[in-house]
Amino acid sequence: MNFLEQRILKDGVVKPGNVLKVDSFLNHQMDIALLDEIGEEFHRRFADKHVTKVLTIEASGIAIAYPVARCFGVPLLFAKKSKSVNIDGDMYVAEVESFTHKNKNQVIVSKRFLTKEDHVLIIDDFLANGCALKGLISIVESAGATVEGLGIAIEKGFQCGGKQIRELGYQLESLAIVDSMDAQNGGLVFREQK
């Protein structure tokens, strides 16, 4: 079991509705040493990639993406959520349905910060149905930039996002993949990974 799986077992809380709460160490209070370890692990897994920018989505992706960007020595860019946007041509826009809040947001990235020369590593905290990642991929594609890979702290493997993204041919690395979880008894089963 790796360091993140161990921490999830110790401090994660399974909630009804297929929600895993990790707000004592990732999503509200943050364990900085753990975040640094996450950054180093993604740096190791994508060491052979040419990365010029790390892209995530606000708010909870930023904490995970920060140490990754620092390890690669590149800027961190985060997509901003907005209920409605006056699209004036200066922004890349994608529509993303929130798994946790059940609403739709437009997410925007300024064209000033993403160009066709960029090689992008996309990072987020959770992967459920894949809406957030697909939105970020479409923004990178709109810019004519290259997706070098995708890194996720916690994938819920019993939801469809991971399978769909891997079938698209991307290198998707999830540090912990939860294959099942039970809100009644708090039980969690992780997928075995190499």
Residue ranges binding ligand 5GP (CB under 6 A): 19-22, 27, 57, 60-61, 99-100, 124-132, 156, 161
For ligand 5GP, the closer CB: 13 or 47: 13
Minimum CB distance to ligand 5GP, residue 26 (Å): 8
Q: How far apart are CA 170 and CA 45, in angstroms?
A: 14
Q: Which phi and psi (to 5°) does residue 152 adopt?
A: -125, 135
Q: How far apart are CA 2 and CA 32, in angstroms?
A: 17
For ligand 5GP, the closer CB: 130 or 157: 130
Minimum CB distance to ligand 5GP, residue 94 (Å): 11
For ligand 5GP, the closer CB: 114 or 128: 128
Dig out the tokens for 21 from the structure: 């709460």
Contacts (Cβ under 8 Å, ≥6 apart) of 185: none
Angle at 79 between CA 77 and CA 80, to 5 degrees: 125
Minimum CB distance to ligand 5GP, residue 47 (Å): 25
For ligand 5GP, the closer CB: 102 or 116: 102
